[in-house]
Amino acid sequence: MAEPSLRRTLAPWLRLLGRRRRRLQLGALLLLATVASAIGLLALSGWFITATALTGMLLAAGVAASLDVYVPGGGIRFFAVARTVARYLERLYNHDSVLRLLADLRARLFSVLAGLDGQTLARRRASEWLNRLTADIDTLDGLYLRLLAPPVVALLAILGVAGFLALFAPMIGAWVALPLLLTWCWLVVGQARWGLAPSRRRVASLDRLRGQAVETLQGLPEWIAYDSLGSQRARLAAEESALYADQWRLGVRSAFGNALVGLVVGGTAVLALWLAASAYYTGQLSGPVMVMMPLALLAMGEALAALPASFTQFGASLAAADRLNALEAAPRAPLGGMGTLPAGVPELALEAVTLHYPGALTPALSQVSLRLAPGERIALLGASGAGKSSLAALVAGQLTATAGEVSVAGRSLAELMPAAWREALAWQTQRLELFDDSLAANLRLAAPEADETALWRVLALVELDDWAAGLPQGLQTRVGESGGLLSGGQARRLSLARVLLRERARVVILDEPFAGVDAAMAARIAARLDAWLDGRSLLYLIHQWQDAAPLPGIERSYRLVEGRLESV
């Protein structure tokens, strides 16, 4: 937790919060107003009750005395209403601010994820990425409301109360300020250091536990088949025990901080009462002021109460920031220049390209050279694992070649603007990217502006129009997670229809477009594709000719064998 490391870890996220500086400052002022109203209400109430009692005693003893009850009574009503209103506005305003910050944080993370290359994305399981988007972001979105505003407000409250008491008796103000400031330092620094290790471990344990739980559920048949479910459950139990142990440690340390707050606030109130009583006996203070002082200090509990739990969990915020910072430092996708594409269909070229995944024994692609001329159609054959999808990902700009270069229209892919190449490319991936949404929404991922006429047109090209028209909800029918409510052939044809919506595409990659489709239907769709592909370049990825539809116009064929390109 060295200062430079702490600064580097949190600096990107503090800069993000700084974009809403004025809004956060107003939220802190509302929080301060709430605490100040609570202190004012308790202090003025104590003074007024004591002054009223003393005045009544004097009148009962026959001594002439008077007390203006309207001004302090009005003050008490003001502080009572102000505390309620300030608390309501503070909660409403600050939680709205946190939701806005949450949107900023997630937008920043999505922009980072969109720029990562395929190798980096493939290193982590889906559960880990989900954890980054949920748990880590949720931890950081409380940075302002838990770790920034409350300690500042508490410090100002301590200085304000101590200064207020010093107006009546400087010695009392100094004596109560010292233990309160030392307690504040412990709650902010001491609790953070004390809880740093277990709160960091807790974040890592929770991440692993979620991943293992997902793996257990997804692979349940395999665990049972290989009689390994017992050992997997034992690993889950051990991880869960470690998580509970750290949660218990953090709970104990938070409880210590809460107890310390109660002890110090109560102790300073007793100290102030003792010092004020001494001053009262020497005639330096009046009775109402003597009573007001400890009551004002008792209200400090509201200012300090949120600090123990927040700063005991400080390590979790640091761990979340570290993990998200690591994503920003991860390798980026090759696209990212400022170059544009000329009009027309561009030439695509791979020059001695080698791709070696980290940790792999052999390269996925080795010295691959391929040239796709404008308007040309090339078929690339290869068994599963031969490197076809890796080559497509290189062309799409999702992977960076270990050696060699991918160029478009004579320019390196790294020099192109991402939007320029993505607009020119249409890619049907081997893995169908279908979301648990409607048919229309899944199609419009390719062309958000497409109207229903365009959607029905592309569905007709892949022979899904009659089926979709017969559904009770038509284009609004949901397809399920990953297209789970569709058959394999329907899902494949739906993803192909989405490609056909890319009217501005000039280079097309089709990866097994007819998998799961019967031969007769595949032949009919291939004939329609021939017309749509006219004037476009095509890279056609298939296992073998026997499994492929007779797509017309293929001019050259190559085979990938263990990452090496061979002519057919």
Which residues pair with residue 538 across a beta bridge?
377, 508
Let me know whether 178 and 318 are in one domain: yes
Pairing of strands 556-561, 537-542: unpaired
CA distance 38 to 299: 6
Exposed / middle / buried, residue 313 (Cβ in 10 Å: 0-12, 13-18, 19+): buried
Q: Phi, psi at residue 518, to the nearest 5°?
A: -65, 160
Q: Can you read off the two tokens belonging to residue 248? A: 């218990």
For residues 142 and 203, membership in a common domain is answered with yes
Q: How far apart are CA 537 and CA 231, in angstroms?
A: 52
Are 295 and 376 in the same domain?
no
Structural domain total, the chain: 2
**What's the one-letter identity of residue 305?**
A
* Residue 549 within a domain: yes
Q: Do residues 288 and 320 both lie within one domain?
A: yes
| Same domain for 367 and 323 | no
Residue 75 sits in the same domain as residue 192 = yes
Q: What local confidence, expressed as pLDDT, does residue 189 receive? A: 95
What element of type H or E holds 45?
Answer: helix 21-60
CATH code (residue 166): 1.20.1560.10
The answer to whether position 336 is within a domain reads: no
In a domain, 333, yes or no: no
Q: What is the DSSP letter of 364?
A: S
379 and 243 both lie in a single domain: no
355 shares its domain with 323:
no
Cα separations in angstroms, 139 against 241, 257, 415 = 22, 21, 37
Residue 528, domain CATH: 3.40.50.300
Residue 187 domain-assigned (yes or no): yes
Does some domain include residue 105?
A: yes
Sign of CA dihedral 461, 467, 472, 478: negative
Same domain, 319 and 404: no
Smallest Cα–Cα separation from 83: which of 26, 39, 44, 47? 39
* pTM, two decimal places: 0.73
The residue segments making up the domain with residue 504 are 348-567
Site of tokens 């218990």: 248
Residues 316 and 429 grouped into a single domain: no
Last residue of a domain, one of 328, 359, 385: 328
45 within a domain of the structure (yes/no): yes
**Residue 110: its pLDDT value, please?**
79
Longest distance between any two alpha carbons in the chain, whole Å:
119
Structural domain ending residue among the three candidates 298, 328, 358: 328
**DSSP H helices in 116-218:** 118-122, 126-131, 137-140, 149-168, 170-185, 191-194, 196-218
Using one digit for the tens of pLDDT, what is the confidence trace for 348-366? 999 999 998 877 788 889 9
Placement of tokens 């004025």 in the chain: 22
Same domain, 361 and 241: no
Q: What is the mean pLDDT of each run of 10 residues along the chain (568 residues)?
A: 64 85 92 94 92 86 82 92 94 89 82 72 70 75 85 95 94 95 96 93 86 84 88 91 94 96 96 94 91 93 92 89 78 69 88 86 89 91 86 87 89 84 88 87 90 93 92 90 85 92 91 84 88 91 69 84 84
H/E element, 286: none
CB 272 within 8 Å of CB 165: yes
What would the pLDDT profile of 53-93 be if each residue is shown by its tens digit?
Answer: 888 888 888 887 778 888 889 999 999 999 999 999 999 99
Decide which of 283, 298, 328 is a domain's last residue. Answer: 328
CA dihedral 242→246→247→252, nearest 10 degrees, is 140
Q: Are residues 386 and 316 in the same domain?
A: no
Cα–Cα distance measured from residue 375 to residue 192, given in angstroms and rounded to the nearest whole number = 63
Secondary structure of residue 355 in the 3-state scheme: strand
